[in-house]
Structure 1
Amino acid sequence: MALSFLALAGCGVQVSRELPSVGVVEYRLSPGDQLHLEVFREESLSGDYVVNDAGAITLPMAGDFLVTGKTLAQARAELEALLAGGYVREARVNLTMAEYRPVFILGEVTRPGEYGYAQRMSVHALVAKAGGFTYRANEKVVYIRHALEGEETAYALTSAAAVMPGDTVRIGARYF
């Protein structure tokens, strides 16, 4: 196993021992996420909003509200404070995920492509959605490009390895 990591390091791919486990990573909002907003007694503000490429949602009256990089709880608290600061009397806000960005899987799986993200999704769950590994798949290493990073990183594939919305996962071929 150690030799495979050394071989990968020589190929210019950053190697990490393990991906964070499912449920360990706190989700941060990013462009493409769809949020459901409910503002108590303000139906004109309530509805579904897509985080735009600038990382904001556009609200009637209040304009653009930056959410990228924030957790749902942080965004909710800041939005409640913004609305209470002159837009809505006694603002009470509920902010939930309406839809996550999709995840993508490439390489040695039966049906590579785009798949809907499910909360606490693991690499193995994504591989199962894609029809499983092909006979040539390297089932010990996974390559992931996280949505907000440009670089693909190699990780040891464990049963609890987490996938996040917007990730591109690649299963490489094993060499006999």
Structure 2
Amino acid sequence: MKYFTPIFSVLLFVSLALLPMTTSAETQNYRLGAGDTIVIKVYGEEALTLETQITNSGTINYPFLGSLKLIGLSIKEVEQIVYNGLKGAYFIEPNVFVGMVLYRPFYIHGEVKQPGGYPYQPGMTVNQAVALAGGLTERASQDKIAISREGSKVESEHGTINSAIQAGDTITIEQRFF
């Protein structure tokens, strides 16, 4: 019993240390879109800290650099754009950080108890989206799920309760026939 606490502490520390790594990897591959809120920081320069929402045109206004088109870019790509823009003309070696504050929402409608838009989190599934929407109605079909991807030319794709969703997706749960 006297070894339980140190072992538990080590396991807790390791699991907490690995948690940000998985979330960070998902965030690094994420592509920005209209409605996402990001934060940009330059170490040692409080005046260059900006928390902003990406506009419908896919842009933000950043001090010294003006309008930046960020739609479709990753967090790392935005860091590089800000770094390149500030380096030389304004700073010798700027230390730039860009992070996600709030993802754009996903939408769910059809046979759910509370249809609407909900905040997206990386790794979400249709099942988790349904839970946020209060669950399925009595007439909902778990076989007739359509997912419309934001910006996709395809009208919608067939989904299952375990399908992964993305920010900006629209999920439709159809009625089942008795």
TM-score, normalised to structure 2, is 0.78
Stretches of structure 1 that go unaligned for 5 or more consecutive residues are: 1-22
Q: Quick check: 1:135 aligned with 2:138?
A: yes
Q: Which has the higher contact order (CA 8 A, sep 6+)?
A: 1
Corresponding position of 1:166 = 168
Q: Over aligned residue pairs, what C-alpha RMSD do you find?
A: 1.9
Secondary structure of the 2:47 match is coil
Identity %: 33
For the Cα contact (< 8 Å) 1:141–1:154, is it kept in 2? no
Partner of residue 31 from structure 1, selected from 29, 34, 44: 34
C-alpha distance after superposition, 1:25-70 (max 9, x if no partner): 9321011110011111221111202111221211112101111111
Larger Rg: 2
Corresponding position of 1:63 = 66
Note closer, same or farther for the CA distance 1:113–1:150 as it changes in structure 2 (3 Å cut): farther
Equivalent pairs counted in the alignment come to 152
Could you say which structure has the higher helix fraction? Answer: 2
CA distance in 2, matches of 1:32, 1:175: 37
Structure 1 residue 151: Cα displacement:
5.0
Corresponding position of 2:20 = none
Stretches of structure 2 that go unaligned for 5 or more consecutive residues are: 1-25
- Letter matched to residue 142 of structure 1: I
TM-score, normalised to structure 1, is 0.79
- Letter matched to residue 169 of structure 2: D
Q: How does 1:97-116 map to 2 (within 5 A)?
A: 97-116=100-119
